[in-house]
Chains A and B, each alone.
Chain A
Amino acid sequence: MTLPPRFQDWFARQGWQPHPHQLALLEAQGDTLLIAPTGGGKTLAGFLPSLVDLAGGAHRGMHTLYVSPLKALTADIARNLARPVADLGLAIRIEDRTGDTRPAQRARQRVDPPDILLTTPESLALMLSYPEAPAIFGGLRRVVLDELHALTENKRGDQLMLGLARLRSLAPGLQVTGLSATVEDPQALAGFMGGARVLEADPGPAPDIAMLPTASPAPWAGGGGHHAIPEVLEQVRQANTTIIFINTRAQAELFFQALWAANDENLPIGLHHGSLAREARQRVEAAMAAGQLRAVVATGSLDLGIDWGAVDLVIQVGAPKNVKRLVQRIGRANHRYNAPSRARIVPANRFEVIECVAALEAVAERDLDGDPRGPGPLDVLCQHILLTACAGPFEADVLYAEVITAGPYRALSRADFDACLDFAATGGYALRAYDRWQRLMLRDGLWRLRDPRAARDLRMNIGTIVEAEMLKVRFRGRGGAPLGEVEEAFAASLEPGDTFLIGGQTVRYEGLREMVVEVTKQPTRKPKIAVFSGVKLATSTQLSHRVQALIGDPSRHHALPGNTRDWLALQAEVSALPRPGVLQSESFRHDGMWHFALYGFAGRNALQTLGLLMTRMMEEAGLGPLGFLSTDYALLIWSLDPVTDPAPLLDRAGLRAGLGDWLGSNAVMKRTFRTVATIAGLIQRNLPGLRKTGRQATFSSDILYDTLRKYDPDHLMLRITTDEARRGLVDFDRIEEMLDRSPRLDHRMLDRVSPLAAPLLLEVGRVPIAGQGRERLAEAEAAALMAEAGLA
């Protein structure tokens, strides 16, 4: 295919020249993966072949399906495509189909699909579950998968690839185009698509990226980055439009507030994060697109897509955590191809200074990080099987043959497939008490839903992102505007009168009514806390190794700012610097509890495993462990009694002995189980009417987990949970490697928090330990309350 003259004319009228990769994609035969930096015209490249083909006017029915990870992106693309289509006078119908699409429109799309449909992985899964799916997709010619790198970060990508395998069966000869920002391993991504030719666009000039110098140094600890407010404001003043990325929603709220407190010129600055009400987010996006904002403070919710040509500066506040993501974020600045992107980094505390320096070195060396993906998860396959049954009867052999054409499931064994089919059909329980009520049944060699009405419930539970239960926040009184959402657990911790931050303002908690958090305005009081735990980014293994190398080698400390050097010097003075060959640890009292910090630099997952194993041994030793948290650098355990000698707790035989049962009843496993069980359809999250009653919270998935472990320990859901935990938590090898690497233990008893440990105390992601320590604490708390009330 070549670019027809009317298209060439259109490009010329815009004053544009088609990029070489846009033309290459037009000519490409078969499936293609295009890797191009942000702003490289990827999306137009993906659509050009469809527009050219459709301009011929011969096609009937749906021609192209476009899938993006963001609902907002589909609307944005629909708008952007409308212009060339109108300019060229093409008779092409373009519609989007997401969770926001009106029911009437959805119903019409099922009988009369548009030429080009823009959708999300979840909406695609839903459409594929309709009996009309063969008619809707039978004539499909092309599929465009946008922001594919973002989709492969979680199970949404696996679900999408199963859907794609289905589409390939419904429309043989389908051509698939994947679009991705720069990634570390394009071939692996192509394999994920089920195989594709990789087309790499010119990566463009190296970015202009540096630390933002600040008058006051980064604080010892904390994640706010508030010390840099004057400099950030100055940068905003000098740029046209700035995106200020902050890692968590809570920090974004606080930073936004601090920025406005200093914003004497009233520069229009907006806030955008995933906990804000959709209306609020859309207002900010619209203002941004219209060029009305000078800056927006944002979390990962703005990482993707939306095309703002005017953005010419990105400021990253807080450690970047991941070199690849940093590079992709930088790319959002200067959406013009062939002009360097400009970005500044603001470390939020002195520990992060080290990480920022290490990340800048990695960017300069174009050394991207990333972990290889494991095989396609079975919980997603269980959901896919149930949804396939919603569309109509199927033959097990045929479905298996189709599933293994999906990239992530290429190596799926027939036994695993059958186990998933069995789970979908019967619940997979050892005790076959359920034959009468099984969900799927086999008749004439075909699997089908026993009760077709079950399709409704199954469709309501589509998707692979399992969020914490969220509650809406509104001002008290009639017609109170929605302010956003908070996690149910956070709401449960509030007492009337407590204040917290949401949407950039401080509000006072009044009470919970009909599952809505009611608040009143409280403009002057200092907030108790900002609300959300937010998405916790893990620092990549590669980056933590770079950080370790930097800390452990004082001869390289000259690359660090003066105050960071001072900080490390202070650490060396009051405790010791982690050095190569030495496993450094500290014990100190803080907040009424003993804390044990171990600097392992083995990555968050390995240290989490170590945390589970060490707390188990501490429980046996009667030290009363209460919980732990792991970062990529360190493990922090708090307990009632101190660790005075870590050697017995790091004993290999002892640690290995714990491996047998560490998968037991710990919070990490239960969290994993909840996700797995929800995706696989064991737990239904959207039972109609259930949440409305507000009478009792649904029984906890922890109870299901404990019950299965006791009565049916070989159940498929437990196997998936274990596999996932092993993969996610990293197997024992990484811990042994850490012990090999650092054979000498150096433990210090301190009379205060050490400089290196201070940031750990502020980390989120704490894992509670349910044991004697927790029981002692509960007893003490109850006794104190009784005494306070004069009842003891």
Chain B
Amino acid sequence: MTGYGFNFAGQRLEARASGALWWPDRRWLVVADLHLGKSERMARRGGALLPPYEVAATLDRLEAEIAALEPAAVISLGDGFDDDAAGRELPDGLCDRLHRLAEGRDWVWITGNHDPGAVPKRMPGRTLPELDAGITLRHEAGAGPDMSGHFHPCIRLAGQRRRCFLIGQDHLILPAFGAYTGGLIADHPALAALVPEGLAVACGARALAMPIGQRHRA
């Protein structure tokens, strides 16, 4: 067992060590900020030529979670693509791979600030601005209770920086699942305003929970 189980807004959820969220009652696998096509977008805009393997690296990890959990639905909480064009430009081979992963299950792309448009027809799945399941699933936190991505939260633990979930009263914020993504430290004001206290669950070899917030610091 590599996940950390917790209650949020009356639901039993599991923060996976990979950075994905598992909702057992609904059999939903939720991931945030895949940023597929980041290297392609940087190159297209005249920037650095990053190694063009990040889509494969991200899909390798997603595939492992899908194989382990057999979800009924996979939900991407926005910024699934590094921009709208990235979805159109994705090489055919990787597009086929996404279709294979989506076979036999619902696949939802929630829109994000990087990819505000609908996913192209060549992609599997459907696009929604947000999804209400008692808990609102959206890209950036709004009126709670909601689960969202966008901030790429990270935390320091034993001298290392790890991606993490933030679990507060009203908001559940997922780490970025994509390979080439940076992070924002959990006590950054933007994050501290959303989750002033609660739990952080660090990703890595195992999911490790620890308290965060004012009460602990005082």
Residues of A in contact with B (beta carbons under 8 Å apart): 426-427, 429, 431, 433-434, 437-439, 451, 453-454, 457, 492-493, 495, 511-512, 681-684, 687, 695-700, 703-704, 707-708, 710-712, 715, 768, 770, 774-775, 777-779, 781-782, 785-786, 788-789, 791
Contact of A786 among B50, B180, B189, B211 (CB under 8 A): B211
Q: How far is the CA of A426 from the CA of B52 in the complex (A)?
A: 11
B158 touches A454 (CB 8 A): no
Contacts of B23-68 to chain A: CB distance below 8 A: 40, 43-44, 46-54, 56-57
Contact of A453 among B46, B208, B217 (CB under 8 A): B46
Q: How far is the CA of A708 from the CA of B52 in the complex (A)?
A: 9
A782-B157, A782-B202 are known contacts. Are A699 and B51 too (CB-CB below 8 A)? no
Q: How far is the CA of A791 from the CA of B189 in the complex (A)?
A: 24
Q: Which residue of B lies closest to A774 (CB)?
A: B158
List 19 other contacts, CB 8 Å, given A682-B50, A782-B208, A789-B211: A426-B49, A427-B49, A429-B51, A437-B40, A492-B156, A492-B185, A682-B49, A696-B184, A697-B184, A703-B180, A707-B179, A708-B53, A710-B57, A775-B206, A778-B158, A781-B157, A781-B210, A782-B157, A791-B211
Q: How far is the CA of A434 from the CA of B179 in the complex (A)?
A: 19
Chain B residues near A495: list those with CB within 8 A. 217
Chain A residues near B158: list those with CB within 8 A. 774, 777-778, 781
9 smallest beta-carbon distances between A and B, as pairs: A427-B49, A711-B53, A789-B211, A437-B43, A782-B208, A778-B158, A696-B182, A782-B210, A785-B210
Q: List 27 A-B contacts (CB under 8 A).
A: A427-B43, A429-B51, A495-B217, A511-B189, A681-B48, A682-B49, A696-B152, A696-B184, A699-B181, A703-B180, A707-B51, A707-B179, A710-B57, A711-B53, A711-B56, A712-B51, A774-B160, A777-B158, A778-B158, A778-B208, A779-B206, A781-B157, A782-B157, A785-B210, A786-B210, A788-B216, A791-B199
A704 touches B50 (CB 8 A): yes
B48 touches A682 (CB 8 A): yes
User: What is the minimal beta-carbon distance from B151 to any residue of chain A, in angstroms?
Assistant: 7
Q: Which residue of B lies closest to A777 (CB)?
A: B158
B57 touches A711 (CB 8 A): yes
Instruction: Tell me which of B50, B56, B152, B180 has the highest count of chain A C-beta atoms within 10 A of its own C-beta.
Output: B50
B184 touches A778 (CB 8 A): no
Q: Which residue of B lies closest to A489 (CB)?
A: B161
Q: How far is the CA of A492 from the CA of B53 in the complex (A)?
A: 30
Chain B residues near A782: list those with CB within 8 A. 157, 202, 208-210
User: What is the minimal beta-carbon distance from A692 to any residue of chain B, in angstroms?
Assistant: 15
Residues of B in contact with A (beta carbons under 8 Å apart): 40, 43-44, 46-54, 56-57, 91, 151-152, 156-160, 162, 179-185, 188-190, 199, 202, 204-206, 208-211, 215-217
User: What is the minimal beta-carbon distance from A387 to any residue of chain B, in angstroms?
Assistant: 15
B216 touches A785 (CB 8 A): yes
User: What is the minimal beta-carbon distance from B56 to any residue of chain A, in angstroms?
Assistant: 7
Chain A residues near B49: list those with CB within 8 A. 426-427, 429, 434, 437-439, 682
Q: How far is the CA of A707 from the CA of B215 in the complex (A)?
A: 39
B209 touches A786 (CB 8 A): yes
B208 touches A789 (CB 8 A): no
Chain B residues near A770: list those with CB within 8 A. 160
User: What is the minimal beta-carbon distance from B112 to any residue of chain A, in angstroms?
Assistant: 13
Contact of A457 among B47, B53, B217 (CB under 8 A): B47
Chain B residues near A427: list those with CB within 8 A. 43, 49-52
Chain A residues near B205: list those with CB within 8 A. 775
Q: Which residue of B lies closest to A684 (CB)?
A: B48
Chain B residues near A493: list those with CB within 8 A. 156
Q: Which residue of B lies closest to A450 (CB)?
A: B46
Contact of A700 among B182, B215, B216 (CB under 8 A): B182
Chain B residues near A434: list those with CB within 8 A. 43, 49, 52
Q: How far is the CA of A774 from the CA of B209 in the complex (A)?
A: 16
Q: How far is the CA of A777 from the CA of B158 in the complex (A)?
A: 6
Instruction: Tell me which of B188, B199, B205 has the highest count of chain A C-beta atoms within 10 A of its own C-beta.
Output: B205
Q: Which residue of A lies closest to B156 (CB)?
A: A492
